[in-house]
Amino acid sequence: MKQNFLSLFPTLFIPVKMKKLNQLSFLFAILLILNGCSGKSGQRETISLNGTWQIAEGKKDIMPPVYNHTIAVPGLVTLAEPEFENAAPPVPDRYSDRNPNKYYPQQDSIRDAYWYRRMVTISKNIPEVALLKVGKAMFGTKVFVNGTFVGEHLPSFTPGYFDLKKFLVKGENELLIAVGSCRNSLPSDVPDGFDYEKVRYISGIYDNVELILSGTPYIKNVQVAPDVKNMQARVQAILINPGEANNSEVTFIVKESKSGLVAGEYKTGKLEFGKDDEKVVDIVIPITNCTFWTPDNPFLYNLDVTTSSDSYKTRFGMRELKFNPETRMAELNGKPFFLRGTNITLYRFFEDSLCGNLPWNYDWVRKMHKKFREDMFWNSYRNCIGFPPEEWYDIADEEGFMIQDEFPIWYGAPGWNTWTKKLDAGNLAVEFREWMQERWNHPSVIVWDSNNETLLNEPTIDSAIAKVRSLDLSGRSWDNSYSTNRAPNDIFESHPYHYSNPDFKFKDMVKASIVPQGNNHKNPETNPVIINEYGWLWLNRNGATTTLTTKLYDNLLGKNSTAAQRWEIYAKYTAAETEFWRCHRQVAGVLHFTALGYDRPDGQTCDNWIDVANLVWEPQFYKYVRDAFAPVGLMIDFWDETVKKGVATNIPVIVINDLEKDWSGIVSFTVLKDDKTVQQKQVSIIVKGLGKSETSFTMDPVSEPGNYTIEVILLNTPFGNIKSTRNFRI
């Protein structure tokens, strides 16, 4: 009888029968020697299986006879040594046929599956619970132990759990993990990460692999829901007893992560467990000297839950992030909060020539987060069309970032294409539940984002959300993209790409609506808005235009423009649009697109690094866009590119303050010609905490023809001098 994690723990999952993966071929291989498995009976052991594995390519139903490659886990198959021939081949016709109406399948003609292999030596009797956790693997996962099939997990973006109890033996064990070689390894109704921009979809085990050994009763999941008003945490623990009948107390201890000081405790009486019994323990723990988690103070707590035979550790922050349906703004721990941030398109970066092992170099990942905060004033980002390895979320928790976590579905809306992608609502709900269970204790995760720019003919995604929404005790908001099915505090996703029209000019911003649109539906102005894409000004890392921006830059600068000219206009226009959306205060969040992506000569988008391995910003982007995201910021609300000779001109300025504390200071107005000051004025201003103020300057008549720059600077803010610029000519 085939067993998997769903059948072992049926009440944890939505009872929907997953389709069998007829065409997926893969068998897994794992070789590991564990000498440290002789801990005390009743203690959980979580044994990392990360490291070097053997790997081979082959057919889906035949175990390879030889494993003549090695690979680091987690990682992608492109990192195997020696390299596989044409690993993750490009999607057919993707280079030659840039038709957005076409669905691009991927077929690997060389192999059906990649097989991972290691040996595991266990030096004690196998306990009642023995689970293999494969954090994330593309495309579909099958596990074999000692030559026997254990189970499969089709989803590529959520963890798979495999019950090894009946298959492991004391002593040496062979573990095989097989993953599908391409997207066509999956059934057509299972999300496969399709992305209109990608050309390579790379297989591999790209998150942690662990072996969990425990007695019973076993703690299979713990959710923490902070209650900041009452300075307490609701904790819900689900326990199962696959062994014989027994009893146990359950102890909960909350500690400050850094100091180790105990901040809360709770102990149940003895609970009686029958064979195969399941119990839910739902309690409230007051938090002593409660410290809230915020981006500026990412204070974390550890929670230890123990039974007589098991222990479970998780981490959480005392933070509540809600979107007020009346103000349509975010509120962090009961106070207004403005999201300033960016996007990470990691799955696109996977196909970048410089990707290598950077996503699993967690020093590099942490450095990137720090540069987001210190260099660009960002406090949030969207994981766009896909989830990173789980360690990224731990880093975001520690560094103080808020994440809009987007499930990798991007199929467009009716009229976008001639093909129809059909998903199964029940199976999708299973994936959504697996996703939520993995993430819901992370204070960094603030929005469940079900898809990008998608509206299916059948409301599959809507139905899946309805099945799982109530599971999150913290009540996070959902982003359902182009669907109109939203709860009052759910997100209206806005992508107001002014420059997608190559004839759009900077001066046209004066006619732009301050109410964000950029969705398949008109903004009803009833839901909070997050602008998580805008601009359409992308350049490759060498300053060349992308396939989407060549005509735009030809129109803006002429056909013979230089990389330096393009970088400057990119930075200035992106800064101006950032100011526009932030200073009009019609949105809960402004998220630039994108801080990490691919650099491909035939690509459509790109990021803003000139050296991604060392995380060096393109200098013009850093110079102009940094100030546009400053917590105390401003906008010159002037968009004309020409000024009449000899006529005085009014220059409006809006100043905003994302801080709780009032800011008062000097606003300096300067007009320059050829870097020489021709006019200069100053005014004092007070901006209330979380508010905005407006002022203006009269630019005296200018008579000499030429090119001019207006600079308005907020002097001596907590973040230095913050500048906005506009260019005009006489």
The sign of the CA dihedral 437, 383, 113, 77 is negative
Q: Are 204 and 225 in the same domain?
A: no
The sign of the CA dihedral 93, 95, 97, 103 is positive
SS3 (DSSP) at 162: strand
In this structure, what token pair is assigned to residue 287? Answer: 């938090």
Whether 68 is in a domain gets the answer yes
Flag whether pLDDT at 15 surpasses 80.
Answer: no
Flag whether pLDDT at 685 surpasses 70.
Answer: yes
Q: How far apart are CA 567 and CA 557, in angstroms?
A: 11
SS3 (DSSP) at 630: coil
CA 60 to chain centre: 32
Averaged over 17-35, what is the pLDDT?
33
Give pLDDT, residue 42: 54
Q: How far apart are CA 283 and CA 222, in angstroms?
A: 11
Say what the pTM is.
Answer: 0.93
What CATH number is given to the structural domain containing 117? 2.60.120.260
According to DSSP, residue 19 is labeled P
Nearest to 659 by CA among 628, 624, 692: 692
What CATH number is given to the structural domain containing 660? 2.60.40.10
Q: Are 298 and 393 in the same domain?
A: no
In sequence order, what are the residues at sequence separation of 6 or more whose Cβ sits closer than 8 angstroms to the Cβ of residue 696? 650, 651, 652, 653
- Residue 24's pLDDT band, with cuts at 50, 70 and 90, is very low
Q: Are 559 and 617 in the same domain?
A: yes
Give pLDDT, residue 458: 84
Whether 466 is in a domain gets the answer yes
Nearest to 333 by CA among 236, 229, 232: 229
CA 45 to chain centre: 29
Q: How far apart are CA 395 and CA 613, in angstroms?
A: 18
In this structure, what token pair is assigned to residue 659? Answer: 């801080």
Are the CB atoms for 589 and 339 separated by under 8 Å?
yes
Q: How far apart are CA 654 and CA 687, in angstroms?
A: 10
- In one-letter notation, the amino acid at residue 445 is V
Q: pLDDT tens, 616-629?
A: 999 999 999 999 99
Q: How far apart are CA 430 and CA 14, in angstroms?
A: 6
Final residue before a domain boundary, out of 214, 247, 278: 214
Whether 318 is in a domain gets the answer no
Q: Are 419 and 549 in the same domain?
A: yes
> Which of these ranges, 401-405, 416-420, 671-675, has the smallest mean pLDDT?
416-420
- In one-letter notation, the amino acid at residue 245 is A
In this structure, what token pair is assigned to residue 498? Answer: 């002014």
Q: How far apart are CA 330 and CA 479, in angstroms?
A: 14
Averaged over 557-580, what is the pLDDT?
98
Q: How far apart are CA 421 and CA 419, in angstroms?
A: 7
β-pairing verdict for 339-344 and 589-591:
parallel
Q: Are 124 and 241 in the same domain?
A: no
Averaged over 705-717, what is the pLDDT?
98
Are the CB atoms for 173 and 95 separated by under 8 Å?
no
Can you name the residues that pair with 403 across neighbouring β-strands? 381, 445
- Residue 301's pLDDT band, with cuts at 50, 70 and 90, is very high
Give pLDDT, residue 1: 32
According to DSSP, residue 376 is labeled H
Give pLDDT, residue 38: 34
Are the CB atoms for 651 and 636 separated by under 8 Å?
yes
Q: Are 552 and 605 in the same domain?
A: yes
The sign of the CA dihedral 379, 382, 388, 393 is positive
> Which of these ranges, 29-43, 159-173, 226-240, 306-320, has the smallest mean pLDDT?
29-43
In sequence order, what are the residues at sequence separation of 6 or more whose Cβ sits closer than 8 angstroms to the Cβ of residue 357? 72, 75, 79
Flag whether pLDDT at 712 surpasses 90.
Answer: yes
DSSP 122-143: E-S---SEEEEEE--EET-EEE
Whether 92 is in a domain gets the answer yes
CA 248 to chain centre: 39
Flag whether pLDDT at 367 surpasses 60.
Answer: yes
Give pLDDT, residue 61: 87
Final residue before a domain boundary, out of 186, 214, 242: 214
Give pLDDT, residue 693: 98
Averaged over 499-513, what is the pLDDT?
97
- Phi (first) and psi of residue 609, to 5 degrees: -95, 145
Flag whether pLDDT at 98 surpasses 70.
Answer: no
- Phi (first) and psi of residue 396, to 5 degrees: -60, -40
Q: Are 378 and 396 in the same domain?
A: yes
Q: pLDDT tens, 517-537?
A: 999 999 999 999 999 999 999
SS3 (DSSP) at 87: coil
Are the CB atoms for 491 and 530 separated by under 8 Å?
yes
Whether 316 is in a domain gets the answer no
Q: How far apart are CA 687 and CA 658, in angstroms?
A: 10
Distance linking the first and last C-alpha atoms of the chain = 82
What CATH number is given to the structural domain containing 534? 3.20.20.80
Q: How far apart are CA 589 and CA 301, in angstroms?
A: 27
> Which of these ranges, 95-99, 284-288, 344-348, 378-382, has the smallest mean pLDDT?
95-99
Q: pLDDT tens, 634-665?
A: 999 999 999 999 999 999 999 999 999 999 99
Whether 317 is in a domain gets the answer no
Q: pLDDT tens, 185-243?
A: 999 999 999 999 999 999 999 999 999 999 999 999 999 999 999 999 999 999 999 98
**Domain with 67 in it:** 5-214
Q: Are 173 and 204 in the same domain?
A: yes
Buried-state track 333-360, b at ≥16 Cβ within 10 A, e below 16: beebbbbbbbbbbbbbbbbbeebeebbb
Q: Which helix (H) or strand (E) holds 286?
A: strand 277-286
Q: Are 676 and 566 in the same domain?
A: no
Q: Which helix (H) or strand (E) holds 213?
A: strand 209-214
In sequence order, what are the residues at sequence separation of 6 or more whose Cβ sits closer than 8 angstroms to the Cβ of residue 259? none
Are the CB atoms for 27 and 176 separated by under 8 Å?
yes
Final residue before a domain boundary, out of 282, 309, 336: 309
Q: Are 515 and 375 in the same domain?
A: yes
Whether 315 is in a domain gets the answer no
SS3 (DSSP) at 191: coil
Flag whether pLDDT at 19 surpasses 70.
Answer: no
The torsion angle over the Cα atoms of residues 396, 399, 402 and 407, rounded to 10 degrees, is: -10
- The pLDDT > 70 percentage for the chain reads 94
Number of domains in the chain: 4
Averaged over 387-402, what is the pLDDT?
98
Whether 512 is in a domain gets the answer yes
Flag whether pLDDT at 28 surpasses 90.
Answer: no
The sign of the CA dihedral 289, 293, 298, 304 is positive
Q: Are 606 and 699 in the same domain?
A: no
Query: Considering the chain, what is the average pLDDT of its residues?
Result: 93
Q: Give 189's Cβ-side CA count (13 Å radius).
A: 16
Q: Are 549 and 602 in the same domain?
A: yes
